[in-house]
Chains A and B, each alone.
Chain A
Amino acid sequence: MWKQDTGSILVTGVPVERGRPIHIEHEDGLARTDFGKGGKVEVIHTPQKVFQRVHEIMHARHSDPRRMGRQYKGLPDEVWNIVEDARIHLGHWPWKRGMTPEPIKEATMEFLGSEMDDAAKHLIEDPEKRGTWPDFGTRFRQAAILIGMGENEYVAIGKADFVDTRQATFAGEMFGLIRANREGKAAHQLYTVFFPPPPPAPWEDGISTTRESGSKIIPANAVRRSGPQMEIIELPLTEVIREAVVGYRRATSGSRLHRPSLRKPVLPQRLFVRRTPTRPDGTILVDASGSMGDWDHVRRWCEKAPFGTIAYYAGNGKSGWLYVYARNGKRAAKIVKPKGGGNTVDGPAMDWLLTQPKPRRMITDRGFCDAADSEVQVVRLSILERAGEIEVIDYSENNPEHHV
């Protein structure tokens, strides 16, 4: 049910230069601001609730679809909507600090409380969602609303109750970017952290089948934007990994007899032979930056996960390389040392890892550095770890005996 409010007081809060919108009131919770050609506000949809009415007026006053189109290009709605909400609340709350009228304050606190209650209910049903995008996004916006109303940033972030300190710190960093009018960058970083990379573009097809040419260059990460490039180098896999040779073992049952045993005077119980089972060894990615570069680890992982895909990466501050050292029981004749000892391409390397078979392990000290998005990638790794997409093995604990 909806009706147009022909004498709307609310729309008089929109400056004429922003448009002369009509106001549609909805019985359900629909809240939306529609922009027309030239970025003019055409329709404001609001529910009956006060806070959403404030919120939509803020959009009508301060959201510019042309700017949003530029800043948030290519991002999903669920990401840029949250960032744009945070932007207007951080910078454009309609009242000065401490001047919010009491009924508005009450309605806002009621909204925040009820949103948190809903979030808590969802988390009881699905606790694994804690720390994922919907959970983070909700808390991120809650904190922005509180800050906009005049709450101290640290207190507001504390009240938002992020899953861990890393996410809370990350939220604060994103607020800093948004305040510096770099909301587009914030949105892209949030996307990078919380969402899997999009499928490769057509020209990126065949990344894993370019052995003839030996390498392929792809953008720094799959969210297409400028940044360091990473070259994926498929080393020629000429050596058979000793541990990957398919073997047989004697068993107490089986379809094939162990013929030498038949010649023994007393037949042993283990009279049959069975093929040694092969394990799904998944993928192991070794952070081979200066802080990590111990090549024995690469070899040892070959022994322990002989059927896995084993790769290492490093960069030189501007670009980086990912070497695929072993796959399907074969390895390269020697380890080719990267031309640099920096991290640089942690993001693209993680993108690559996410396209590889599970289980996925990453051996790293998490000391990502020397790229603009290094801190973002640290948060991203922790989220992927929490989601079970990547198991992180700290360099200091990098003993294959304990992990396979």
Chain B
Amino acid sequence: MLTKTWDQKLVGLVTDGVFPGVLNRMNIFGYSRTGKSTLVHQLLKSERVTFHQGMPLDDLIGGWALIDGRTVWVDGPAVRALRTGSCLQIDEANEVPNECQTMFYALLDDPAGITLPSGERVNASPGYSVVTTMNPCPDVFPHPVYDRFDVYLKADTLAEGTKRALGPFAKNAEQVIGFKQPKLTWERPASVNAFLAANKLKQKGYDDSRIADILGWEGKAVTDFLIAASTR
């Protein structure tokens, strides 16, 4: 059996209705220039924001603006995603600014919901999902963040779209994909949310092997999950 690449897995999950749908929180980590952000945006028509250390909270949830002489609330990308039930894409998620930390937790909750400075409570509409992308491995996240993601994908190959953009140089680019970049040695550990996600898939009739695959476990982690999930 051929092992699927991360982008094939992503396309498969979206096509099969696993993401968004059954699972709604995904982290894609890996080498730069592999096509992570582009592919997510194209596939999921996402509301998109990029974290950086100096980013104010307004850039995430929105803020008051003076329009036609009146102060009116203008939704940011996170609130638009919540209201419309669409995908919130956060690039460079490891750069989460201090000001946004708590709101980041709330956006990753299931069900998600935030209270705006106007006092309005905005709960996630059906279809809301979050995809974060970043270069380092997820062990840079504090535990409450890392254990809110249902699916992890390791972007260690060039996405099909990137290969098309590279044309005949795709093979050259593949040779240098991890050049001078940190090794992607992280393996998803067991966690409460991993088993929450597993149960959501189980409820939908997925078998344990498929569940392990969807959750991003590979090699002996798959068989360990099969053993651990056995009931006798």
Which residues of A come within 8 Å of B, CB atoms? Answer: 6-13, 48, 50, 53-54, 57, 92-96, 101-104, 107
Q: How far is the CA of A101 from the CA of B187 in the complex (A)?
A: 22
Residues of B within 8 Å of A101, CB to CB, are 207-209, 223, 226
Instruction: Check if A94 sits within 8 Å of B227, measured CB to CB.
Output: yes
20 contacts across the A-B interface (CB closer than 8 A):
A6-B189, A7-B187, A7-B191, A8-B224, A9-B190, A10-B227, A12-B190, A12-B228, A13-B227, A13-B228, A13-B230, A48-B220, A53-B220, A53-B223, A53-B224, A53-B227, A57-B228, A94-B227, A96-B232, A103-B222
For residue B225, which residue of chain A has the nearest CB? A9
Instruction: Check if A107 sits within 8 Å of B228, measured CB to CB.
Output: no
Residues of A within 8 Å of B175, CB to CB, are none
Q: Does B6 contact A (CB under 8 A)?
A: no
Instruction: Check if A104 sits within 8 Å of B227, measured CB to CB.
Output: yes
Residues of A within 8 Å of B188, CB to CB, are 7
Residues of B within 8 Å of A12, CB to CB, are 190, 195, 228
Instruction: Check if A94 sits within 8 Å of B224, measured CB to CB.
Output: no
Residues of B within 8 Å of A95, CB to CB, are 230, 232
Q: Is the interface of A mostly helix, strand, loop or mixed?
A: helix
Q: How far is the CA of A101 from the CA of B230 in the complex (A)?
A: 10
Q: How far is the CA of A92 from the CA of B189 in the complex (A)?
A: 26
Instruction: Check if A9 sits within 8 Å of B228, measured CB to CB.
Output: yes
Within 8 Å by CB of A94, from B195, B220, B221, B232, lies: B232
Q: How far is the CA of A292 from the CA of B225 in the complex (A)?
A: 62
**Most B CB atoms within 10 A — which of A8, A50, A57, A101?**
A101
For residue A94, which residue of chain B has the nearest CB? B230
For residue A56, which residue of chain B has the nearest CB? B227
Q: Does B231 contact A (CB under 8 A)?
A: yes
Residues of A within 8 Å of B195, CB to CB, are 12
Shortest CB–CB separation between residue A27 and chain B, in angstroms? Answer: 13
Q: Does B217 contact A (CB under 8 A)?
A: yes
Given A9-B221, A94-B230, A104-B223, 14 more pairs with CB closer than 8 A: A7-B187, A7-B191, A8-B224, A9-B217, A9-B224, A9-B225, A10-B227, A13-B228, A57-B227, A96-B232, A101-B207, A101-B208, A101-B209, A104-B227
Shortest CB–CB separation between residue A145 and chain B, in angstroms? Answer: 15
Q: Does B166 contact A (CB under 8 A)?
A: no
Residues of A within 8 Å of B208, CB to CB, are 101
Q: How far is the CA of A93 from the CA of B229 in the complex (A)?
A: 13
Question: Please, how many residues of chain B have a CB less than 8 angstroms from a CB on the other chain?
Answer: 23
Instruction: Check if B226 sits within 8 Å of A103, measured CB to CB.
Output: yes
Shortest CB–CB separation between residue A180 and chain B, in angstroms? Answer: 19
For residue A55, which residue of chain B has the nearest CB? B227
Instruction: Check if A7 sits within 8 Å of B189, measured CB to CB.
Output: yes
Give the 4 A-B CB pairs with smallest separation, nearest first: A7-B189, A13-B228, A94-B230, A9-B224
Residues of A within 8 Å of B231, CB to CB, are 94
Q: How far is the CA of A13 from the CA of B208 in the complex (A)?
A: 14
Instruction: Check if B223 sits within 8 Å of A103, measured CB to CB.
Output: yes
Q: How far is the CA of A229 from the CA of B189 in the complex (A)?
A: 59
Instruction: Check if B232 sits within 8 Å of A9, measured CB to CB.
Output: no
Q: How far is the CA of A10 from the CA of B222 in the complex (A)?
A: 10
Q: How far is the CA of A126 from the CA of B232 in the complex (A)?
A: 40
For residue B209, which residue of chain A has the nearest CB? A101
Q: How far is the CA of A104 from the CA of B217 in the complex (A)?
A: 16
Shortest CB–CB separation between residue B133 and chain A, in angstroms? Answer: 22
Residues of B within 8 Å of A94, CB to CB, are 227, 230-232
**Most B CB atoms within 10 A — which of A12, A95, A107?**
A12
Instruction: Check if B223 sits within 8 Å of A13, measured CB to CB.
Output: no
Residues of A within 8 Å of B225, CB to CB, are 9
Residues of A within 8 Å of B207, CB to CB, are 101
Residues of B within 8 Å of A48, CB to CB, are 220
For residue B217, which residue of chain A has the nearest CB? A9
Instruction: Check if A10 sits within 8 Å of B209, measured CB to CB.
Output: no
Q: How far is the CA of A240 from the CA of B91 in the complex (A)?
A: 105
Shortest CB–CB separation between residue B193 and chain A, in angstroms? Answer: 13
Q: How far is the CA of A190 from the CA of B228 in the complex (A)?
A: 33
Residues of A within 8 Å of B217, CB to CB, are 9
Instruction: Check if B229 sits within 8 Å of A13, measured CB to CB.
Output: yes
**Most A CB atoms within 10 A — which of B207, B223, B229?**
B223
What string of 1s and 0s marks CB contacts (under 8 Å) between B83-104 and chain A?
Answer: 0000000000000000000000
Name the interface residues of B49-96: CB closer than 8 Å to any CB of A: none
Shortest CB–CB separation between residue A108 and chain B, in angstroms? Answer: 11
Instruction: Check if A8 sits within 8 Å of B190, measured CB to CB.
Output: yes
Instruction: Check if B220 sits within 8 Å of A93, measured CB to CB.
Output: no
Residues of B within 8 Å of A50, CB to CB, are 220, 223
Shortest CB–CB separation between residue B188 and chain A, in angstroms? Answer: 8
What string of 1s and 0s marks CB contacts (under 8 Å) between B166-198 and chain A?
Answer: 000000000000000000000111110001000
For residue B222, which residue of chain A has the nearest CB? A103
Residues of B within 8 Å of A103, CB to CB, are 209, 222-223, 226
Residues of B within 8 Å of A7, CB to CB, are 187-191
Shortest CB–CB separation between residue B187 and chain A, in angstroms? Answer: 8
Within 8 Å by CB of B227, from A54, A92, A96, lies: A54
Instruction: Check if A93 sits within 8 Å of B232, measured CB to CB.
Output: yes
Residues of A within 8 Å of B220, CB to CB, are 48, 50, 53
Shortest CB–CB separation between residue B217 and chain A, in angstroms? Answer: 7
Instruction: Check if A92 sits within 8 Å of B232, measured CB to CB.
Output: yes
Residues of B within 8 Å of A96, CB to CB, are 232
Q: How far is the CA of A101 from the CA of B207 in the complex (A)?
A: 10
Shortest CB–CB separation between residue A87 and chain B, in angstroms? Answer: 14
